[in-house]
A and B are shown apart, each in its own frame.
Chain A
Amino acid sequence: MPSFLFYLFAAITLGFGLNVILARNPVTSALSLAVSFVGLAALFISLDAYFIGIIQILVYTGAVMVLFLFIIMLLDIQKEEAKRANTAAVIGGVVLAVVLTLQVAAVLGVFKEGAITTEQRALSMEIASKREDVAQVKTIQKDLAAGTLPDAKLMGMTLFEQYGFHLQAIGLLLLVGTVGVVVLSKRESPSKPVV
């Protein structure tokens, strides 16, 4: 990927991420976060993680942000008044963010193993098509032999062959989450005490 595209999407991700914090209107924050996540999805795709990039857009900007906007609408939250900014919290937050960023930059400055480009770690479909695990799935092997990266198929192979139990545990978690949301949102009858 050309360098300027990385800088563009990194700027979109961080710029709109900053706007989430700065905006006084919650709807502006939510929409900024959606744009920030689209930039992040572009960064994922630049790392050849096409499936994760699409999932990021579908789940985060599609489902999660709509849920956020729906709750903001439901609760009818007004703009915060500007005067009520807590000075100590603002200073603390800014210092925390700056120190953490500087710390990350300092660590990365001496992390020599990280100074590698994607060209130096190039993907090779030719080598990959000779892998043993790939050889068992004909459709993946065919795609690799044709020189394309079947990202979603490889993700599926990894998930269902190596992490089958985890996948089912996640399914159970989603079920429990759904039940929990219904229980939490149910309006208690006035006679019953609040749990």
Chain B
Amino acid sequence: MITLNHYLFVSGALFALGLAGVVVRRNIIIIFMCLEMMLSAANLALVGFSRFRVTDGLPDYAAQSLVFFTITVAAAEVAVGLAVIVALYRTRQSVEVDTITRMQG
């Protein structure tokens, strides 16, 4: 039977995948995709907790509202982040994070 723990494990594994991607990959667009993956993993945990906290026969819609806000903020973040990447590409002609060393100590 599928329990809450199953959903939480999938959420944790998806988060771990995103984290590994951020560390391993050096293409800034892929890193950005992995960030989206981690945000979605958090959403899965929230929706899981929402469904399993039943009050008066209905799931907890406060948690789902939070997921709604997270998705909206993530969409805004993608738009701004990709604009930054485009601006970066204009000055550096590259999307590799290794080439961005100006702020390195």
In the complex, chain A residues whose CB is within 8 Å of the CB of B26: 80, 84, 86, 89
Q: Contacts A131-B56, A158-B65 given: A30-B33 contact, CB under 8 Å?
A: yes
Contact with B along A166-180 (1 / 0, CB 8 A): 100010011001101
In the complex, chain B residues whose CB is within 8 Å of the CB of A119: 1
In the complex, chain A residues whose CB is within 8 Å of the CB of B20: 21, 93-94, 96-97
Contact with A along B26-48 (1 / 0, CB 8 A): 11011011101100100110011
Question: A159 to B79, Cβ gap below 8 A?
Answer: no
In the complex, chain B residues whose CB is within 8 Å of the CB of A157: 61
Chain B facing A: main interface SS: helix
Question: B44 to A44, Cβ gap below 8 A?
Answer: yes
In the complex, chain A residues whose CB is within 8 Å of the CB of B95: 75, 77
Q: Contacts A64-B36, A124-B57, A170-B73 given: A52-B68 contact, CB under 8 Å?
A: yes
Contact surface of B with A, Cβ cutoff 8 Å = 1-10, 12-27, 29-30, 32-34, 36-37, 40, 43-44, 47-48, 50-54, 56-59, 61-62, 64-65, 67-69, 71-80, 82-87, 89-91, 95
In the complex, chain B residues whose CB is within 8 Å of the CB of A26: 27, 29-30
Q: Contacts A20-B34, A52-B64, A121-B52 given: A67-B82 contact, CB under 8 Å?
A: yes
Question: A122-173: which residues lie under 8 A (CB-CB) from chain B?
Answer: 122-128, 130-131, 134, 154-155, 157-159, 162-163, 166, 170, 173
Question: B27 to A80, Cβ gap below 8 A?
Answer: yes
In the complex, chain A residues whose CB is within 8 Å of the CB of B71: 52, 55-56, 59-60
Contact residue among A21, A126, A166, A185 (Cβ-Cβ distance under 8 Å from B83):
A185
Shortest Cβ-Cβ A-B pairs, 4 listed: A104-B12, A124-B57, A127-B57, A97-B20
Cα distance A143–B88 in the bound complex, in angstroms: 51
In the complex, chain B residues whose CB is within 8 Å of the CB of A108: 5, 8-9, 12
Question: A49 to B1, Cβ gap below 8 A?
Answer: no
Cα distance A64–B36 in the bound complex, in angstroms: 9
Question: B44 to A40, Cβ gap below 8 A?
Answer: yes
Min Cβ gap B78→A in Å is 5
